[in-house]
């Protein structure tokens, strides 16, 4: 019964919560100022729990302990100053204490029962409880950080979910998430509200009001189909009675994203990344755009793909790049279409969407009005001068006339990239200058294409790129950039739609829709306004002709779309223009589709459709479509074919497409064959010759499979494809491709899982221009993925292996550093050469919070290197704890645990048929490498007596940047020993031998090899369960084997005191005295790494943290950090924070 009650409450909670809080997954970043962190106000789930360091690398669980019931994490706050915790929070109602009676009224057993007791209602005032009666989870925090080495900064965080009833008829739903730290390490600076949905919703059975981030969408209308993420207010009212329903809605908001689309041709054997660029409604492509997360839709050959590492593709919203998974091989025959919304921050843009609908059993009528327009007098990223507004006024809708010089006069400022004007070869050009006496200009350079500009990138420094003028050769430009920008004109789009439907019987239905649009592409100009308005209409008739086992349905569609009619987003098939072989259609559009559908629930369906498409000025076409999906006993037949005949003012086309799939099933196996073909012959009317767009291909496939595709199966197949293209006015063979593939799920049960995917493809080029330019006329590609998981001996051994191979591109990345508020960054700048210029080799990962005032920003790039990638990962855990009840050798083994993990992710330059399948073949040829090997051997893990851990670590990372390669390598042997002596003493001992290497192709100052020795004994006196005093000594010896052979001997004496009073308050304090004997140049990158941010000589560090529970939901956190050296004054940093948990 208790279990049923729990299940009942869970189902009720889910039904009331409309927001999809998928598994209550939460990611939070903490500035670690003490070794104890309160993760959440309620219990959290141990599943999918991860702790990441400031580089977003997962921290091994041996370095921390966590109490999931109390949501408390304990770890070394000196080693990890910033961490990110990812976890699943349990719903509050599962962790809440339920009691029918007041426990304070319970009489102790030892009480004299002869005394008469009277139970009365409590007169004690209840403590104030926010959102009492509602289901809440999350927290609100507000803090301020001050220090003598930084300006005051305010930190705030809001993460709150609320649901519940305000009255018998009104319910509340809310998700409020906000943070003032809009930064991502090694990524692009973002505003968090571009990713998180923040809303408050009040609703009842008849109405709802939503404020905040809302999704405006219409999926039913033909001409007003859209899905847009906005921030505003939405009202929805339903008026129902026995005879009719009336729906009214209204919304007004600020637009967050603008719809756009990219068409990309797939490259043979290239899984990506493929760059998403913006058009900015003009001729200059935006090489770097800010995507709205979750807004993209990726199609290949018209098929919608799924996002995810276990699906078809992944996307990096920071760099706007799409990478396809090895299990979805990309070829040159694939057409990639990506629809997305991006943050358009040129003007404040408003949108309103209103409508009404009336519906009875047989009749429905509705009206919708959509209005989206820019506030032309409220530009965001461009300050428009009167002269620029005049340019808009004269340009009309012609974006080519909106290009203007980007230079404007500016004043000298340290670290700002500015230019002066000079004459070179009678041309006035911009030249970089950091002389404050020059007349300086701030100039923005735009990529205009190879050899279409007069400027080129000269160098990249920490604050950005510096461009230089290159002299044309024989009148041909030698650069790719120009000092221009394209002004973006404010726009307006209005669409009004009326739709009606009438169903006189169950067999007959009529539908119609009429739309009117106004699209002004330049609100500053009245030129070209004659094409702003347009109309569209649609009629539909559906009829059930025969109602039996086989049902016969007819459907007739007619559409008229005026040439100047505009929509918000695409409403046709993603490949509509290719299906009809359309190029630059002109005039009013008419579309007619008539179809017959013959269906049987058991046998399948057949359909014939006749289509007619006409553009009044230059196109007319007819298309015949036949589709069948039939099943005869164990035989399945799928056919999809079409024949197009069109006629335009210049060409005429015959376009045939055919697809046939026949599959025969047996008891536990199947065999099948597919045929996929296209033949497009486009002829020029004047010359009667074939157009260069003519093409033909035939792809045949045979496959055989065994098993059950829902469980365990294997399918082996072969494809052969021939492609013809126009050569000498004839369709001739240009290549043929052979593809061999294996798809399988070989093992799938509770203790084991094994899946294998292999796709090997060869392309042989013949008679094509590409063949003459290739080193080899044969191209090969290999995509594979092996995934294996095994649990043995009742989970005593757990093994997991993943192996992948694929080809792709490696961007030649550039980056710069941007200054942010102190404590909100990840990097610090040290002017090693004293020239006052921020150079790329002068930035270090900050060791202290008061120094972290820079973030790294990746710059857009157009340079990529073709690569072949190998990825291998394996984890092995041996945990024979179940043998603890055994005797002899098994009992001895039960004290030991071993964890091993290896990751190899390498990319080598791809050259023709050269690709490496051996993941362990690591040499100097690799362009990019991530190699991590870690093995930990435990004795008495998690116990208080003789707990010992030996860990071996070796890592190597290589990154390829435009300025050269950078490599880091680490080898380490670590030994950790813990032992509790009696009741009050705990002894810890840690020692390590490490070798840390750094190699930079560009910056020799960052080349070093450090050999380190560390010894760290610690003794703790345990006053009580919650209080302890620690004394430790930390010895470090570091020697650089390169360059100036710097040496360091460090002695660190420290004391730490921890005291906690139940759950009321806790105090954590520490003080360290560090003696650093350093030989070498202390003002260098090597010295900063060796000294870990401290100085030679005597250093003092200290911290004090106080956590106080003020009420049942309110906590006060006070943190104070300080340090001092012989050559610098004391640095003090303090933080005060209030946190309310719900």
Mean pLDDT (the chain, rounded): 84
pLDDT at residue 229, as a whole number: 84
* 8 Å CB contact between 849 and 31: yes
- CATH topology for 1-98 is Immunoglobulin-like (2.60.40)
**Residue spans per domain, the chain:** 1-98, 258-343
Q: Per-residue pLDDT for 101 more than 90?
A: no
Please, which pLDDT band fits residue 635 given cuts at 50, 70 and 90? very high
Q: How far apart are CA 1140 and CA 158, in angstroms?
A: 10
Q: How far apart are CA 1026 and CA 1043, in angstroms?
A: 49
* 8 Å CB contact between 839 and 462: yes
Q: Per-residue pLDDT for 195 more than 50?
A: no
Tell which phi-psi region holds residue 470, choosing left (phi > 0), alpha (psi between -120 and 50) or beta. Answer: beta
Rg over CA atoms, the chain: 34
1075 vs 944, more confident? 1075
Q: What is the mean pLDDT of residues 746-754?
A: 91
Q: Per-residue pLDDT for 151 more than 80?
A: no
459 vs 630, more confident? 630
For residue range 974-1016, list pLDDT tens digits in order: 999 999 898 889 999 999 999 999 988 888 888 999 999 999 9
Cα–Cα distances in Å, from 869 out to 54, 276, 323, 920, 927? Answer: 26, 22, 13, 12, 10
Q: How far apart are CA 258 and CA 246, in angstroms?
A: 31
Q: Per-residue pLDDT for 690 more than 50?
A: yes
| Contacts (Cβ under 8 Å, ≥6 apart) of 462 | 415, 816, 817, 829, 838, 839, 840, 842, 843
* 8 Å CB contact between 296 and 314: no
Q: Per-residue pLDDT for 393 more than 50?
A: yes
8-state DSSP, 148:
T
Q: How far apart are CA 410 and CA 434, in angstroms?
A: 12
For residue range 457-510, list pLDDT tens digits in order: 988 887 888 999 999 998 899 999 999 888 888 999 999 999 999 999 989 999
For residue range 719-729, list pLDDT tens digits in order: 999 999 988 88
* 8 Å CB contact between 345 and 361: no
| Contacts (Cβ under 8 Å, ≥6 apart) of 234 | 208, 209, 210, 211, 214, 216, 249, 250, 251, 253
Q: What is the mean pLDDT of residues 141-147?
A: 80
Q: What is the mean pLDDT of residues 257-273?
A: 87
> E strands, 81-197, where?
82-89, 135-147, 150-165, 171-179
For residue range 313-370, list pLDDT tens digits in order: 999 887 788 999 999 999 999 999 999 988 777 888 899 999 999 999 899 999 999 9
pLDDT at residue 653, as a whole number: 92
* 8 Å CB contact between 585 and 619: yes
Exposure string over 111-134, b if 16+ CB within 10 A, otherwise e: eeeeeeeeeeeeeeeeeeeeeeeb
Q: How far apart are CA 716 and CA 710, in angstroms?
A: 16
pLDDT at residue 108, as a whole number: 57
pLDDT at residue 324, as a whole number: 94
Q: What is the mean pLDDT of residues 212-220?
A: 88
In which element (H, E) is residue 904 found?
A: strand 896-909
Q: What is the mean pLDDT of residues 920-939?
A: 89
> E strands, 40-134, where?
44-52, 64-67, 72-75, 82-89
* 8 Å CB contact between 133 and 1125: no
């Amino acid at each position: 019964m208790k279990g049923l009650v729990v299940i009942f409450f869970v189902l009720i909670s889910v039904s009331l919560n409309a927001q999809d809080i998928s598994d209550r997954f939460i990611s939070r970043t903490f500035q670690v100022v003490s070794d104890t962190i309160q993760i959440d106000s309620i219990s959290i789930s141990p599943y999918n729990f991860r702790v990441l360091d400031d580089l977003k690398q997962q921290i091994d669980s041996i370095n921390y302990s966590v109490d999931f019931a109390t949501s408390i994490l304990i770890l070394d706050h000196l080693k990890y100053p910033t961490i990110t915790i990812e976890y699943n929070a349990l719903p509050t109602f599962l962790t809440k204490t339920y009691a029918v009676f007041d426990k304070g009224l319970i009489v102790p057993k030892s009480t004299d029962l002869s005394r008469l007791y009277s139970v009365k209602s409590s007169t004690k005032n209840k403590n104030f409880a926010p959102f009492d009666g509602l289901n809440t989870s999350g927290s609100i925090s507000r803090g301020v950080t001050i220090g003598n080495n930084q300006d005051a900064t305010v930190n705030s965080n809001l993460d709150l979910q609320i649901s519940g009833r305000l009255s018998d008829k009104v319910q509340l739903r809310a998700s409020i998430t906000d943070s003032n730290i809009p930064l991502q390490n090694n990524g692009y600076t973002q505003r968090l509200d571009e990713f998180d949905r923040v809303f408050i919703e009040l609703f009842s059975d008849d109405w709802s009001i939503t404020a905040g981030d809302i999704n405006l969408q219409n999926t039913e209308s033909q001409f007003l189909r859209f899905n847009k993420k906005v921030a505003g207010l939405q009202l929805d009212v339903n008026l129902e009675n026995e005879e009719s329903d009336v729906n009214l809605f209204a919304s007004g908001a600020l637009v967050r994203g603008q719809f756009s689309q990219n068409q990309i041709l797939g490259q043979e054997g290239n899984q990506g990344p493929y760059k998403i660029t913006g058009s900015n409604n003009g001729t200059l492509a935006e090489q770097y755009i800010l995507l709205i997360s979750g807004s993209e839709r990726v199609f290949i050959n018209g098929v919608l793909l799924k996002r995810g590492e276990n699906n078809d593709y992944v996307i990096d919203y920071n760099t706007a790049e799409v990478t396809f998974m090895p299990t979805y091989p990309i070829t040159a025959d694939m057409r990639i279409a990506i629809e997305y919304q991006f943050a358009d921050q040129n003007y404040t843009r408003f949108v309103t969407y209103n409508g009404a609908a009336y519906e009875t059993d047989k009749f429905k009528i509705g009206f919708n009005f959509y209005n989206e327009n820019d506030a032309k007098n409220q530009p965001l990223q461009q300050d428009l001068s009167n002269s620029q507004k005049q340019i808009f006024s004269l340009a009309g809708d012609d974006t080519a006339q909106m290009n203007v010089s980007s230079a404007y006069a500016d004043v000298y400022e340290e670290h700002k990239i500015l230019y002066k004007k000079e004459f070179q070869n009678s041309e006035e050009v911009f030249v970089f200058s950091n002389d404050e006496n020059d007349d300086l200009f701030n100039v923005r350079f735009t990529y205009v294409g190879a050899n279409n500009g007069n400027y080129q990138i000269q160098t990249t420094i920490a604050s950005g790129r510096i461009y230089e003028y290159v002299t044309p050769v024989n009148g041909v430009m030698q650069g790719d950039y120009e000092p221009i920008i394209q002004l973006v004109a404010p726009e307006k789009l209005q669409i009004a739609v009326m739709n009606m439907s009438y169903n006189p019987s169950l067999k007959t239905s009529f539908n119609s829709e009429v739309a009117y649009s106004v699209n002004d592409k330049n609100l500053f100009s009245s030129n070209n306004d004659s094409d702003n308005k347009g109309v569209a209409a649609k009629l539909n008739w559906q009829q059930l002709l025969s109602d039996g086992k086989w049902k016969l349905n007819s459907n007739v569609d007619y559409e008229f779309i005026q040439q100047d009619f505009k929509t918000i987003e695409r409403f046709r098939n993603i490949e509509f223009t290719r299906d009809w072989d359309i190029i630059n259609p002109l005039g009013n559009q008419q579309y007619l589709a008539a179809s017959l559908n013959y269906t049987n629930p058991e046998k399948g369906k057949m359909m014939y459709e006749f289509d007619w498409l006409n553009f009044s000025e230059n196109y007319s076409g007819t298309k015949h479509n036949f589709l069948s999906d039939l099943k005869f006993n164990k035989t399945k037949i799928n056919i999809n074919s079409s024949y197009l005949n069109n006629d335009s003012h210049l060409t005429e086309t015959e376009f045939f497409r055919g697809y046939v799939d026949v599959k025969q099933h047996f008891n536990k196996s199947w065999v099948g064959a597919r045929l996929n073909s296209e033949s497009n012959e486009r002829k020029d009317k004047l010359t009667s010759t074939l157009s260069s767009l003519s093409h033909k291909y035939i792809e045949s496939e045979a496959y055989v499979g065994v098993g059950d595709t829902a469980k365990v199966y294997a399918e082996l197949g072969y494809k052969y494809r021939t492609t013809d293209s126009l050569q000498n006015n004839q369709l001739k063979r240009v290549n043929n491709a052979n593809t061999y593939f294996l798809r399988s799920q070989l093992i799938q049960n509770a203790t084991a899982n094994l899946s294998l995917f292999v796709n090997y493809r060869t392309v042989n080029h013949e008679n094509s221009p590409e063949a003459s330019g290739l080193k080899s006329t044969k191209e090969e590609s290999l995509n594979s993925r092996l995934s294996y998981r095994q649990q043995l001996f009742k989970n005593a051994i757990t093994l997991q292996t993943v192996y992948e191979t694929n080809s792709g591109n490696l961007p030649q990345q550039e980056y710069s550093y941007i200054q942010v508020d102190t404590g909100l960054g990840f990097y610090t700048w040290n002017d090693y050469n004293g020239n006052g210029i921020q150079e790329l080799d002068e930035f270090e990962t900050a060791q202290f919070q008061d120094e972290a005032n820079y973030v790294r920003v990746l710059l857009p790039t157009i340079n990529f290197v073709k690569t072949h990638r190998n990825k291998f990962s394996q984890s092995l855990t041996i945990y024979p704890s179940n043998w603890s009840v055994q005797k002899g050798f098994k009992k001895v083994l039960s004290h030991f645990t071993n964890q091993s993990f290896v990751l190899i992710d390498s990319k080598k330059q791809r050259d023709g048929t050269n690709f490496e399948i051996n993941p362990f073949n690591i040499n100097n040829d690799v362009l990019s490498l991530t190699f991590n090997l870690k093995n930990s051997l435990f004795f008495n893990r998690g116990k208080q007596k003789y707990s010992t851990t030996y860990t071996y670590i070796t890592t190597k990372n290589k990154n390829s940047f435009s300025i050269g390669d950078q490599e880091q390598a680490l080898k380490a042997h670590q030994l950790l020993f813990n032992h509790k002596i009696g009741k009050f003493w705990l002894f810890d001992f840690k020692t390590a031998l490490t070798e840390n290497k750094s190699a930079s192709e560009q910056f020799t100052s960052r080349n070093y090899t450090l050999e380190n020795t560390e010894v760290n004994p610690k003794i703790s006196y345990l006053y009580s369960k919650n209080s302890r005093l620690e004394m430790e000594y930390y010895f470090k010896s570091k020697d650089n084997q390169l360059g100036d052979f710097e040496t360091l001997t460090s002695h660190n004496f420290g004391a730490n005191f921890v005291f906690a009073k139940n759950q009321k308050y806790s105090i954590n304090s520490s003080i360290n005295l560090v003696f650093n004997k350093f030989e070498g140049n202390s003002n260098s990158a090597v010295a900063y790494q060796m000294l870990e941010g401290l100085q030679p000589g005597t250093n003092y560090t200290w911290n004090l943290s106080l956590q106080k529970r003020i009420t049942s939901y309110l906590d006060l956190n006070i943190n104070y950090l300080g340090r001092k050296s012989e050559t610098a004054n004391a640095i003090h940093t303090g933080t005060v924070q209030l946190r309310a948990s719900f």
